[in-house]
Amino acid sequence: MKLITDLYLGDCRNELKKVPDNSIDLIVTSPPYADQRKSTYGGVSVSEYVQWFLPISKELFRVLKPTGTFILNIKEKVVDGERSTYVMELILGMRKQGWFWTEEFIWHKKNCYPGKWSNRFRDAWERLLQFNKDKKFNMYQDAVKVPIGDWAKNRLKNLSETDKKRDNAKNGSGFGKNISNWVGKDTVYPTNVVYLSTECNNKNHSAAFPRELPEWFIRLFTQENDTVLDPFMGSGTTIEVANRMKRNSVGIEIVPEYYETVRQQFSLTEYYLMDSAIEDGELESTGCYRVC
C-alpha cells in the first residue's frame, strides 16, 4: 500500500477546510504558545489565545474520525508572577464544542530550561492533553508496552550516582525494592507520565519536541496506514515520524521556510523508505507526497 503525505502551506484556520470530515485517526500538535515564537508565528497574545484557538479545535473536531484522538501539547506561561488560566479556559471551551477531555498526560522534561528566580523554580513539565470525540476510541496499549528487561537495564544504567544519592536521602523508598517487584514480568504498561529530554540539536535542524513524543502517541493511537495530522507542522517532526512508521500524514504550516524545508525532505521520501527497508530487512512499497 502506498503511503501519502499531504502538505499544506498556509494558516490552518483556512487550510483545515480542505481536509475531509472524519478522515483523521490522530492529531498530534504543539501550537505556538501564547506570546511565544513571536518572530516566526507572530505571537498570539494571552488574552486572545482561547478565542484564537477555539475555531481551530472546532475544525479539528470535524476532521477527526469518531474513533480518533487529539493530543495537544501546551503549557501556560507566567504572567505578572502568576500562571495564566488560558489553558483551563481552553479545555472548558473545547468541552462545549463536544470534545471529551479524556486524560492529561504529563511530559516530565529531563533537561528543562535553566534559570533562577526568587519566587519559583525551573519549569520541568508540560501538558499533553488528550481529547476525544467519542468515549470509545482506538487505543493500542500493547504497542507501547515496555520490555521490562530493557526498562530495568536502561533505568539502572541511566540512574546516576546522584540519583541514587537523592533516592537514598529519602529513607525507605529504595529503588532496588521497586526493581525486585518487576522480576519475572517481561513487559509492563507505561503510566500517564512521559519522561523525556527536549532535543538539543547541535545541528541546523530545529525540532519543537523530541521525536519520541509523537512516536509514542502514534504507536498508542494508530495502526499502519492510519492517518496522522499536525496542523502546526513546524519543522515536521510529527509528519516525518508518522511517515517512517508507515502512517499517512497531513501537515499544515504557515511559515514558508519551514514548509519548504519539509517539502524538500519529502522529495527524498523514497530514499527514506529504502533506508527503513534495509534496516528492517524487508522490502517496502514506496510513498509519495502531495502539495495541496
Partner DNA sequence: AGCTCTTATGAATCATTGA
Partner DNA sequence: GTCAATGATTCATAAGAGC
H or E element: which one contains 164?
helix 161-169
Residue 23 vs 36, nearer CB to DNA: 36
H or E element: which one contains 96?
helix 86-96
Residue 8 vs 33, nearer CB to DNA: 33
Q: Does 265 bind DNA (CB under 7 A)?
A: no
**Which residues fall within 8 angstroms of residue 32, CB to CB, at 6 or more apart?**
40, 41, 43, 44, 232
CB atoms within 10 A of CB 61: 17
Among 48, 51, 143, 193, binds a second copy (CB under 8 A): 193
Q: Is 289 helix (H, G, I), strand (E, B) or coil?
A: strand
Among 112, 139, 144, 292, binds DNA (CB under 7 A): 112
Cell reading at 159: 540512574
**Which residues fall within 8 angstroms of residue 80, CB to CB, at 6 or more apart?**
none
225: nearest Cα among 195, 210, 246: 246
| Binding-site ranges for DNA (CB under 7 A) | 30-33, 36-37, 73-75, 77-78, 81, 110-120, 122-123, 126, 146, 148-152, 154-155, 157-158, 160, 162-163, 167, 169-171, 173-178, 181-182, 185, 188-189, 197-203, 206, 208-209, 232, 234
| Binding-site ranges for a second copy (CB under 8 A) | 80-83, 85, 88, 91-92, 95, 100-104, 106, 108, 110-112, 114, 116, 118-125, 135, 137, 139, 141, 146-150, 160-162, 165-166, 170, 172-173, 175, 178, 189-193, 195-197, 199, 210, 212
